[in-house]
Amino acid sequence: MSITIARRGLLAATALLPLPAVAQAPWPARPIRLVVPFAPGGTTDIVARILAQHMQERLGQPVVTENRPGAGATLASGQVAQAAADGYTLLISNSASHGISPSMFKNTPYDPMADFTHIALAATTSTAVIVNPRYPAQTMPALLEYGRSRPDGLDFAISGHGTTTHLLGMRIGLATGIRMNPIPYRGAGPALLDVISGTVGLMVDGLPSCIGHIRDGAVKAIAVADPQRNANLPQVPTLIESGLPGMTSYSWFGVSGPKGMPAPIVERLNTEIRAILKLPAVQQRYRELTADPSDMTPAQYTAFIAEELRVWGDVVQRTGISAN
């Protein structure tokens, strides 16, 4: 009888406990969606697939990439912002979705800080200022001198309107007083062809798309936008060395989720992603992409995004660039 009473008492007490105290469901218990806000094939997609492959090996559940391009990466980002904060829907946050687009689009369907849990920075890629080998200015100081001598300014090719390369060119103009005239193309490939032919002599481009042409001499890199010289182009000076203090720029790619994600899930994801980025196979693949791995905590990645929003928001405001 006493055992029966004790059991009843235990059951009654257990019923009064909050559910997590009774049973905490393990995470992950089902597949995870990793949403990519760009079409397949680009650097964002490649980084996502590298992460997904290794995440599912380490987490024991499938990690499925979903490509949802559109509206400067804001379409997919807005959808993820409204998803359940349970760790099963994640986003490849990036320099467009959480750096430039929130300032450039008038009706971005999310707050890039308040509506997300920022988990880890996965990769950065550098930007280069490149010229045709027959262009009048063959160094960055010579380019600045050439630009200041031309009232109509400098025409420069870009892979698309509102990209980091577009805004870096405009930022150089703001810092130097040179009028910069962007010529947008539908992707880096067509733009590079015109720079190689001399149709447009100057371009600001991401290193992954132009490094091959630099190495074979079809174009010349006259500056990179890294804080220090880039290991892929150690002979090329930085914009800072060329007389532009603080002038750095990256394309970057990380992992974020909806706001309010449980701290244990965030910490687990951050730990696993940072471990993945240290794997020799991943670092070799990154070298092939001219990408650099990162090693940020969630708090550091959140602060990084806040600074990117500040920098690019200022450029958008001062130049009046708009996507609408």
Structural domains of the chain ordered from first start:
29-125+251-319 (3.40.190.150), 126-224 (3.40.190.10)
Q: Among residues of the chain, what percentage have pLDDT more than 70?
A: 92
Q: What is the mean pLDDT of residues 122-144?
A: 97
What's CA 167's distance to the chain center, in Å? 14
Give the distance from CA 187 to its chain's centroid. Answer: 17
Per-residue pLDDT, 24:
57
Contact 148, 176 (CB under 8 A): yes
Please spell the DSSP secondary structure of 233-289, one letter per residue. STTSPBTTTTT-TT---EEEEEEEEETT--HHHHHHHHHHHHHHTTSHHHHHHHHHH
pLDDT > 50? residue 250: yes
- For residue 46, pLDDT beyond 70: yes
* Dihedral-angle region of residue 87 (phi above 0 means left; psi in -120 to 50 means alpha; beta otherwise): left
Mean pLDDT confidence for 23-33: 86
Peptide bond before 133: cis, by omega within 30 degrees of 0? no
Tokens of 199: 């149709």
Q: What is the pTM of this model?
A: 0.84
pLDDT at 286: 95
CA distance 290 to 300: 23
According to the model, what pLDDT value does residue 71 have? Answer: 84
**H or E stretch including 116?**
strand 116-131
